[in-house]
Amino acid sequence: MTGSPIPSNENERLERLEYYNILDTDPEEAFDDLTSLAAKLLNVPVVLVSLLDNDRQWFKSKFGLDVDQTPREVSFCQYAIMQDDVYEVDNALQNDLFRDNPLVTGNPKIRFYAGAPLVDEDVTLGTLCAIDFQPRKLNEEEKRTLTIISKTIIRLIKYRRDQQEAERLAKAKDEFLSNMSHEIRTPLNAIMGFTDLLSGTALDHTQRSHIDTVARATKNLTVIVNDILDVSKLESGRFELEKQPFQLEKMLKHVVQLQSVKAKEKGIKLMSSIDNELPGYILGDETRLTQILYNLIGNAIKFTSEGEVELKVLVKERSHNTTRISFEIKDNGIGIEKDKLEQIFDRFTQASESTTRLYGGTGLGLNIVKKLVDMHGGLLDVESELGKGSIFSVVIEFDLDRATDHSDEEIETKKTEINSLAGLNILLAEDNEHNQILAKTYLERNNAVVDIAGNGDLAVEMIKTKEYDVVIMDLQMPVMDGFESTRIMREDLKMEMPIIACSAHSLVGDREHCMRKGMTDYIAKPYTERELVGTIMDHAERKNMVKPAQVTEDFKAIIQAMRKDEGDELVDNLLKIFLNRIPKDMEELASARETRDFESLSKKSHLLAGSLISLRFEKGFELARSVEKYAFEKKHEEANRSSAMLIDYLAKTIQSLQNH
| Ordered structural domains, the chain, with CATH | 10-138 (3.30.450.40), 244-411 (3.30.565.10), 425-539 (3.40.50.2300), 548-659 (1.20.120.160)
Q: What value does the mean pLDDT take over residues 444-456?
A: 91
Q: Is the pLDDT of residue 223 over 80?
A: no
Nearest to 325, CA basis, from 250, 382, 274, 257 = 274
Name the pLDDT band for 240 (thresholds 50, 70, 90).
confident
Helix (H, G, I), strand (E, B) or coil at 619: helix
Cα-trace Rg, the chain: 34
In the beta sheet, which residues pair with residue 425?
449
Read off the DSSP letter of residue 73. G
**What is residue 566's predicted lDDT score, i.e. its pLDDT?**
74
Determine how many CB atoms are found less than 10 A away from the CB of residue 308. 16
d(CA 107, CA 74): 13
Average predicted confidence (pLDDT) for the chain? 83
Name the pLDDT band for 172 (thresholds 50, 70, 90).
confident
pLDDT, tens only, 512-521: 788 888 999 9
Name the pLDDT band for 118 (thresholds 50, 70, 90).
very high
Q: Which distant-in-sequence residues (6+ apart) come within 8 Å of 403 by Cβ? A: 245, 246, 279, 281, 282, 283
More confident residue, 277 or 397: 397
* Amino acid sitting at position 606: H
End-to-end CA gap in the chain: 94
Q: Is the pLDDT of residue 506 over 70?
A: no
**What secondary structure, in 3-state letters, does 114-139 show?**
EEEEEEECCEEEEEEEEEECCCCCCC
Q: Is the pLDDT of residue 260 over 70?
A: yes
Distances (CA, A) of 522 to 506, 532, 597, 646: 10, 10, 23, 27
**Side-chain-facing half-sphere of 553: CA atoms under 13 Å:** 23
* Amino acid sitting at position 402: R
Distances (CA, A) of 298 to 293, 294, 328, 587: 8, 6, 13, 57
Pairing of strands 112-120, 123-132: antiparallel
Global confidence as pTM: 0.45
Q: Long-range CB contacts (< 8 A, 24+ apart) of 603-608?
A: 605/631, 605/643, 605/646, 608/582, 608/646, 608/650
Pairing of strands 322-331, 308-318: antiparallel
Longest dimension (CA), the chain: 104
d(CA 245, CA 194): 35
Q: Is the pLDDT of residue 418 over 70?
A: no
Nearest to 236, CA basis, from 506, 505, 507 = 507
Q: Is the pLDDT of residue 479 over 80?
A: yes
d(CA 441, CA 626): 35
Q: Is the pLDDT of residue 600 over 80?
A: yes
More confident residue, 614 or 12: 12
**What is residue 462's predicted lDDT score, i.e. its pLDDT?**
95
DSSP notation for 542-577:
-TTSPPGGG----HHHHHHHHHHHH-HHHHHHHHHH
Edge-to-edge strands, sheet with 69-71: 69-71, 56-63, 46-52, 123-132, 112-120, 87-89
Helix (H, G, I), strand (E, B) or coil at 46: strand
For 330, phi then psi, to 5°, come to -115, 135
In the beta sheet, which residues pair with residue 310?
271, 330
Angle (nearest 5°) at CA 424 between 420 and 428? 105
More confident residue, 399 or 185: 399
For 589, phi then psi, to 5°, come to -65, -45
Distances (CA, A) of 147 to 31, 56, 114, 144, 331: 15, 23, 11, 5, 63
Pairing of strands 449-453, 425-429: parallel
d(CA 127, CA 85): 11
Q: What share of the chain is helix, strand, coil (3-state, %, to 5)?
A: 55, 20, 30
d(CA 574, CA 569): 9
Distances (CA, A) of 354 to 147, 383, 435, 447: 58, 21, 40, 52
d(CA 211, CA 224): 20
* Amino acid sitting at position 59: F
* Amino acid sitting at position 390: S
E strand or H helix at 190, and its extent? helix 140-199
Give whichever of 300-304, 571-575, 637-641 has the largest mean pLDDT.
300-304
Determine how many CB atoms are found less than 10 A away from the CB of residue 55. 10
CA of residue 136 relative to chain centroid, distance? 55
Determine how many CB atoms are found less than 10 A away from the CB of residue 169. 10
Q: Are 283 and 403 spatial neighbours (Cβ–Cβ below 8 Å)?
A: yes
Q: Which distant-in-sequence residues (6+ apart) come within 8 Å of 175 by Cβ? A: none
Q: What value does the mean pLDDT take over residues 281-300?
A: 88
d(CA 426, CA 435): 15
Determine how many CB atoms are found less than 10 A away from the CB of residue 238. 11
Q: Are 7 and 82 spatial neighbours (Cβ–Cβ below 8 Å)?
A: yes
Read off the DSSP letter of residue 376. T
**What is residue 235's predicted lDDT score, i.e. its pLDDT?**
64
Per the rule left: phi > 0, alpha: psi between -120 and 50, beta: everything else, 385 is beta
